A and B are shown apart, each in its own frame.
Chain A
């Protein structure tokens, strides 16, 4: 009986989490979904939630602070695909850009549509370090080694032969 309850209890999150807000990647048609102060999130499935208003809640894992954004956008119909007008990711139907984040921080993000809550997703904003503090010397190419060794030997050999031929012909 107890084990049955445990198994059923394990399914409870799945009752609510039938979709998730994932961070966009190159496969979704953008260079990256992770910036230093924002993340690009995927939209809720249009077949189930078209026309519904979406809220978003995110938790800053470091400071344990939760922020809720209400009615950030309305899910578009499935017939409207990605377009090239509009100045934001949401108006182009690519995704939702969650802004005003801190860099190098991990967030736990989920959508809330009515009573439906998406599976939470973890997203980390980029920390933006300086580049090149530990530049390593690139490996030497084979060409450089060959040219240097052979030409140095050739120079040395020619010098010896020149001296010898001068001495021999004057003797």
Chain B
């Protein structure tokens, strides 16, 4: 049985750690909201493939982040009151939240690997769904048009993707247009600067780099926010819970 002084110090440590964890949980909540809002508007690329667990992980992290915040405040109260029943309730609730947050981190990292580990999935999706007249097709077409214009790129790895492989776009528009006109440079009035040059393939009239670098960096950024920051919060909470368990066993 620890002395009164030792117990008081342990109580102070538990309270401080809980305060820090509450702040970290709130930050996780905010970061996960940023991911779920999807400012770069790339959700259809993961949604259409059926592997949208980066965003599912973000939604879980919204709830676990806020739950960490509330439970840690309860933990400060429970530690101050020095009551065993309250500390036990705190430990059990924190453990349940810990499990959910683990699920969020792991699933986000795994789905990122599937989607953008290499450019195959994104390229196949682009070739199959761009210009297709279905719900998925319209979503993908809208997303790709936005990306090609904003980021000034064409195709997944390069414009050659449109020429090398069969695609829905090619089936619909034949070989008159080797690639979509969104690959062409535009004037500030949004008109295509030189559509004939773009169709021939003059490099001065169109975008020549691929869009995959941008898509990969955005989805990776979302994933690292949810999985790596979530992981660092988990590591802190892990050691904090160990200290809280020691405190719990020392309570009379």
Task: Enumerate chain A interface residues (CB-CB to B < 8 A).
Answer: 26, 29-32, 35-38, 40, 84, 86-89, 92, 94, 97, 126, 128-132, 135-141, 143-144, 147-148, 150-152, 154-155, 157-159, 161-162, 165-166, 168-169
Nearest Cβ distance between residue B192 and chain A, in whole angstroms?
Answer: 13
Nearest Cβ distance between residue A101 and chain B, in whole angstroms?
Answer: 11
Q: Complex formed: what's the CA distance from A44 to B166 in Å?
A: 33
Name the 5 nearest CB pairs between A and B, nearest first: A138-B117, A132-B124, A31-B201, A131-B165, A144-B109
Q: Complex formed: what's the CA distance from A35 to B251 in Å?
A: 78
On whether the beta carbons of B109 and A143 are closer than 8 Å, the reply is yes
On whether the beta carbons of B203 and A131 are closer than 8 Å, the reply is no
Which residues of chain B from 221 to 241 have any CB-CB distance to chain A below 8 Å in the complex?
224, 227-228, 231, 234-235, 238, 241
Q: Complex formed: what's the CA distance from A40 to B206 in Å?
A: 17
Which residues of chain B from 169 to 185 have any CB-CB distance to chain A below 8 Å in the complex?
170, 175, 178
Q: Which residues of A are found within 8 Å of B202, using beta-carbon distances?
A: 29-30, 84, 92, 94
On whether the beta carbons of A162 and B92 are closer than 8 Å, the reply is yes
Interface: B99 (CB within 8 A): yes
The range of chain B's interface size is 35 or more
Q: Which residues of B are found within 8 Å of A130, using beta-carbon distances?
A: 165-166
On whether the beta carbons of B201 and A138 are closer than 8 Å, the reply is no
Asked, given contacts A92-B197, A147-B105, whether A154 binds B124 with beta carbons under 8 Å apart, the answer is: no
Which applies to chain B's interface (DSSP): helix, strand, loop or mixed?
helix
A26, A84, A97, A129: the one contacting B166 at CB < 8 Å is: A129
Nearest Cβ distance between residue B58 and chain A, in whole angstroms?
Answer: 15
Among the stretches B61-69, B135-143, B242-250, the one at the interface with A is B242-250
On whether the beta carbons of A147 and B166 are closer than 8 Å, the reply is no
Nearest Cβ distance between residue B90 and chain A, in whole angstroms?
Answer: 11
B88, B160, B204: the one contacting A32 at CB < 8 Å is: B160
Q: Mark B21-52, 1 if CB is under 8 A from A, else 0.
A: 00000000000000000000000000000000
Q: Which residues of A are found within 8 Å of B121, using beta-carbon distances?
A: 135
Q: Which residues of A are found within 8 Å of B231, using beta-carbon distances?
A: 147, 150-151
On whether the beta carbons of B127 and A128 are closer than 8 Å, the reply is no
Q: Which residues of A are found within 8 Å of B158, using beta-carbon distances?
A: 31
On whether the beta carbons of B109 and A161 are closer than 8 Å, the reply is no
Q: Which residue of A lies closest to B92 (CB)?
A: A162
Asked, given contacts A92-B202, A94-B202, A132-B127, whether A141 binds B113 with beta carbons under 8 Å apart, the answer is: yes
On whether the beta carbons of A140 and B249 are closer than 8 Å, the reply is no
Asked, given contacts A151-B234, A155-B99, whether A92 binds B175 with beta carbons under 8 Å apart, the answer is: no
